[in-house]
């Protein structure tokens, strides 16, 4: 089969490799679309340590099951599926409490030792695949993992109808938080970003208030929009040291903060401990939630969360290196890019 192999740092090679084997309890999937994640870009360049090359990356996957292994019961060949990439042992305390992404013996499809979706076929454990209806396109399915993580964070922590939510960042994560908060029916969604095009996207996907931090004082605007209290939930979805600090300073007393954006390993983050203690702020580091997949698929199928509209760029698999360069440049019109393994 054709695949893109991460050969060494900053080197991707489109080549022929052996197809994965369908083992006991697993399925073999014909990959129809794979999302290109910024995390992969950082891994490829060596700025984020999550395994060593050579390896087939790609953890945002949609396709069709073409083969099932022994003892597979819940899915069958021909099913269209997305891949929930956390692989758990099923026995540890994390797996038994709905947190298999924290499994002490597991890993993640797309990162060593589990081959990922930048290939024509991928193998996955049965409990890592979720069926999707025909109303969800392959490209929407491919980036569903990128939506599931932000949605899962909100699903885990919860929201109330009278909450005001502040979101810093208007990339795929920030826009997913916007739509999830809207689906929860909150009172007000505020989005802050440095780019007006990004803020246009935020408004399109449901933000009530947008703040251009290049032109406006963020603290003053948040205070104005919250009656001087601060946000009930403050979400950091940019991964920058400055916005991480602001996320804690802009939440109300006794409020909640979601830390989602991951800074580079070289970044120095100043954490406002005094504000957290004196204002009784609770901060959550959240990355995944296996329990959110079924309700999220239902919301997407019902049109309450618009995923397909967030796919802005498509490439054949052989041009993955071009997609990676696009993410590095990060143009204003980019929300999410996907690659198609079977496109010539």
Q: Tens of pLDDT along 283-333?
A: 999 888 888 999 999 999 999 999 999 999 999 999 999 999 999 999 999
CA pair distance 191, 293, nearest whole angstrom: 25
Question: pLDDT band at residue 193, thresholds of 50, 70 and 90?
Answer: very high
The pLDDT tens digits for 93-107 are: 999 998 999 999 999
Same domain, 198 and 328: no
Whether 266 shows a pLDDT value over 80: the answer reads: no
Tell me the range of 40-49, 97-106, 151-160, 162-171 where mean pLDDT is highest: 162-171
Helix axes of 144-157 and 293-301: crossing angle, nearest 10 degrees: 120
Is residue 178 pLDDT above 80, yes or no? yes
Give the model confidence (pLDDT) of 200-215 as tens digits.
Answer: 999 999 999 999 999 9
> Is 80 exceeded by the pLDDT of residue 41?
yes
Question: What is the percentage of the chain residues whose pLDDT exceeds 70?
Answer: 100
In this structure, the answer to whether residues 124 and 182 fall within a common structural domain is: no
What CATH number corresponds to the domain at position 210? 3.40.50.720
Q: How many domains does the chain have?
A: 2
Give residue 28's pLDDT. 98
Q: Which candidate, 129, 66, 94, places its Cα nearest to that of 297? A: 129
Per-residue pLDDT reduced to its tens digit, 3-37? 999 999 999 999 999 999 999 999 999 999 999 99
Half-sphere exposure (Cβ direction) of 11: Cα atoms closer than 13 Å: 7
Helices and strands: H and E segment counts in the chain = 10, 17
Are 153 and 281 members of one domain?
Answer: yes
Has residue 299 been placed in a domain? no
pLDDT of residue 138: 98
Residue 25 is predicted with a pLDDT of 95
Q: Domain check: are 245 and 124 in the same one?
A: no
113 and 30 belong to one structural domain: yes
Closest to 300 measured CA to CA, from 70, 96, 108, 143: 143
Q: What per-residue string of b and e applies to 129-161 under the rule 16 or more CB within 10 Å gives b?
A: bbebeeebbbbbbbbbbbbbbbbbbbbbbebee
Domain range for residue 107?
2-143+307-340
Q: Is residue 291 part of a domain?
A: no
Same-domain pairing of 121 and 229: no
Structure-model confidence comparison of residues 78 and 98, the more confident one: 78
**Domain for residue 234, yes or no?**
yes
> 334 and 313: one domain?
yes
Same domain as 171, residue 95: no
Here the CATH number for the domain that contains residue 116 is 3.90.180.10
Q: Are residues 267 and 219 in the same domain?
A: yes
* Average pLDDT over the chain, rounded to an integer: 95
- Helix or strand run (H / E) with residue 78: none
Average pLDDT over residues 173-195: 96
The per-residue pLDDT for range 215-239, each reduced to its tens digit, is 999 999 999 999 999 999 999 999 9
How far apart are the C-alpha atoms of 167 and 342, rounded to whole Å? 37
Label residue 264 by pLDDT band (50, 70, 90): confident
Residues 278, 311: one domain? no
pLDDT value at 271 more than 90: no
Residue-level pLDDT at 49: 83
Q: Are residues 30 and 92 in the same domain?
A: yes
Q: Does residue 295 form part of some domain?
A: no
65 in a structural domain: yes
Within-domain flag for 86: yes
Q: Are residues 245 and 206 in the same domain?
A: yes
**Average pLDDT for residues 73-95, to the nearest whole number?**
95
Q: Which two tokens stand for residue 197?
A: 């095009």
Question: Is residue 302 a part of any domain in this protein?
Answer: no
C-alpha to C-alpha distance for 10 and 18, rounded to whole angstroms: 23
| Residue 58 domain-assigned (yes or no) | yes
């Amino acid at each position: 089969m054709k695949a893109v192999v991460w050969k060494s740092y900053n080197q991707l090679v489109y080549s022929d490799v052996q197809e994965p084997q369908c083992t006991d309890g697993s399925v073999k999937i014909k990959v129809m679309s794979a999302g290109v994640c910024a995390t992969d870009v950082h891994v490829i360049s060596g700025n984020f340590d999550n395994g060593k090359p050579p390896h087939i990356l790609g953890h945002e996957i949609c396709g069709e099951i073409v083969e099932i292994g022994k003892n597979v019961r819940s899915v069958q060949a021909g099913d269209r599926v997305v891949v929930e990439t956390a692989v758990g042992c099923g026995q540890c305390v994390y797996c038994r409490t709905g947190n298999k992404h924290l499994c002490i013996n597991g890993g993640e499809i797309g990162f060593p030792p589990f081959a990922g979706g930048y290939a024509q076929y991928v193998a996955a454990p049965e409990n890592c695949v979720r069926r999707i209806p025909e109303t969800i396109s392959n490209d929407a399915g491919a980036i569903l993992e990128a939506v599931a993580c932000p949605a899962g964070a909100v699903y885990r922590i919860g929201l109330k109808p009278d909450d005001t939510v502040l979101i810093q960042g208007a990339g795929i994560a920030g826009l997913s938080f916007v739509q999830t908060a809207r689906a929860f029916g909150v009172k007000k969604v505020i989005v802050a970003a440095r780019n007006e095009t990004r803020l246009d996207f935020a408004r399109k996907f449901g933000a009530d208030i947008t703040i251009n931090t290049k032109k406006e004082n963020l603290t003053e605007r948040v205070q104005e929009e919250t009656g001087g209290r601060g946000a009930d939930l403050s979400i950091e979805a940019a991964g920058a040291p400055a916005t991480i600090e602001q996320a804690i300073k802009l939440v109300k007393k006794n409020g909640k903060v979601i830390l989602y954006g991951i800074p580079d390993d070289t970044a120095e983050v100043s954490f406002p401990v005094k504000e957290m203690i004196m204002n009784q702020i609770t901060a959550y580091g959240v990355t995944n939630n296996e329990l959110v997949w079924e309700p999220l698929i239902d919301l997407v199928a019902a049109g309450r969360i618009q995923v397909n509209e967030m796919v802005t760029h498509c490439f054949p698999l052989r041009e993955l290196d071009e997609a990676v360069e696009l993410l590095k440049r990060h143009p204003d019109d980019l929300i999410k890019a996907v690659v198609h393994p079977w496109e010539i």
